[in-house]
């Protein structure tokens, strides 16, 4: 029997995915105990054929006891929590699921912009507490959205924002200039984008290269009163600097979906700020997106089982 370990809480639970796993006769083992560094993988890795990864890190130590493992598959896009070099050294293909959840993340970014623009959380809290505090918000049409990371998610967000009448500017380490020109998106350096944008939405990978990308210096470059959205990784934003910028009024609002430690320690002052909105790393959590990601993972497992290398394999040239 094929044994599939998963550290992703959502894998195998939505749409056609549970039925397909049952039809194939795979044993699905959930390793999602957040009290354990590896989610519990070490207790089962010796008999696993495939490891489907959520947010729990995959390191050389994770793989040390693997005897039958044939592949490491990310249930999502970002692979900054997977030691690809260690997987390659162990002869293990690493795959992810690009674009499968891009629409879901982009739609949440738009929702968070509306929530900040119209003070939706504050209005809800006012009514449910017996009050009636009306606040004059602003419209998104006519505003400028700065997208940091114009990949699959950023491109979808740009299309949605333009449909609302927003002007879109973007920055990217590897810019798709042809796409940007065709869609009327001006590509800028980060500093110029921060100075122009009314809303800044982050869609970059995590890791050391982007650690504290938005810190005190970057926040000082932002347009006064602008709002920030982080749907990337927790380390991309310096929360101390964000809290200070909110207190000073330099930053008009922030919406955060990703954290360095999940769940985060809410004793940090940013979590009590009235102009901050938080969601539990749920950017990709739609039934449609989770099903799409799961189907792509199953497809890649089947390809590996057939002795082939999936097209989405990230380390194919090094194996």
Active-site annotation, residues = 233, 262, 281
140/248 same-domain check = yes
Interacting residues of 231 by C-beta distance below 8 A, sequence separation 6+: 105, 108, 109, 153, 201, 202, 203, 257, 258, 283
Count of all residues that appear for the chain in the document: 319
Q: Average of pLDDT values for 119-137?
A: 97
Identify the CA nearest to 84 among candidates 69, 74, 75. 74
Strand order, beta sheet including 167-171: 186-187, 167-171, 144-148, 199-202, 226-230, 251-256, 276-278
Interacting residues of 249 by C-beta distance below 8 A, sequence separation 6+: 224, 225
CATH number of residue 139's parent domain: 3.40.50.720
pTM (2 d.p.): 0.91
108/216 same-domain check = yes
Regarding beta strands 94-95 and 71-74, do their DSSP bridges make them parallel or antiparallel, or are they unpaired? parallel
Residue 123, both tokens? 């209005």
33/143 same-domain check = no
Q: Which domain holds residue 257?
A: 102-278
Euclidean distance between CA atoms 166 and 157, whole angstroms: 11
109/236 same-domain check = yes
Q: Average of pLDDT values for 26-52?
A: 93
122/266 same-domain check = yes
8/37 same-domain check = yes
**Residue 35 confidence class, pLDDT cut points 50, 70, 90:** confident
76/156 same-domain check = no
Would you state the pLDDT for residue 141?
98
Interacting residues of 174 by C-beta distance below 8 A, sequence separation 6+: none
96/106 same-domain check = no
The rounded mean pLDDT for the chain is 96
């Amino acid at each position: 029997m094929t044994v599939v370990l998963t550290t992703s809480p959502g894998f195998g639970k939505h749409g056609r995915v549970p039925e397909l796993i049952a039809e194939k006769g795979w044993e699905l083992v959930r390793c999602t105990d957040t009290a354990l560094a590896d989610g519990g993988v070490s207790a089962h890795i010796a008999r696993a054929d495939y490891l489907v990864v959520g947010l729990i890190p995959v390191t050389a130590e994770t793989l040390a006891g693997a005897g039958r493992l044939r592949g490491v598959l990310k249930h999502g896009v970002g692979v900054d929590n997977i030691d690809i070099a260690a997987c390659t050294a162990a002869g293990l293909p690493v795959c992810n699921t690009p674009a499968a959840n891009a629409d879901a993340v982009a739609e949440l970014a738009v929702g968070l912009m509306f929530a900040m623009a119209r003070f939706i959380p504050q209005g809800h809290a006012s009514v449910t507490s017996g009050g009636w505090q009306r606040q004059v918000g602003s419209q998104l049409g006519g505003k400028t959205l700065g997208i940091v990371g114009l990949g699959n998610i950023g491109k979808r967000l740009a299309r949605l924002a333009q449909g609302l009448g927003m002007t879109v500017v973007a920055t990217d380490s590897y810019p798709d200039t042809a796409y940007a020109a065709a869609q009327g998106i001006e590509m800028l350096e980060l500093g110029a984008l921060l100075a122009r944008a009314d809303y800044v939405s982050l869609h970059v990978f995590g890791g050391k290269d982007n650690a504290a990308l938005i810190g005190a210096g970057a926040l000082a470059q932002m347009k006064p009163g602008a709002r920030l959205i982080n749907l990337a990784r927790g380390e991309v934003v310096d929360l101390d600097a964000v809290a200070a910028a909110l207190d000073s009024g330099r930053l008009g609002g922030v919406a955060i979906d990703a954290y360095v430690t999940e769940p985060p320690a809410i004793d940090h002052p940013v979590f009590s700020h009235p102009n901050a909105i938080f969601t539990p790393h749920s950017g990709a959590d739609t039934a449609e997106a989770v099903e799409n990601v799961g189907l792509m993972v199953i497809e890649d497992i089947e390809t590996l089982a057939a002795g082939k290398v999936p097209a989405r394999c990230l380390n194919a040239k090094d194996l």
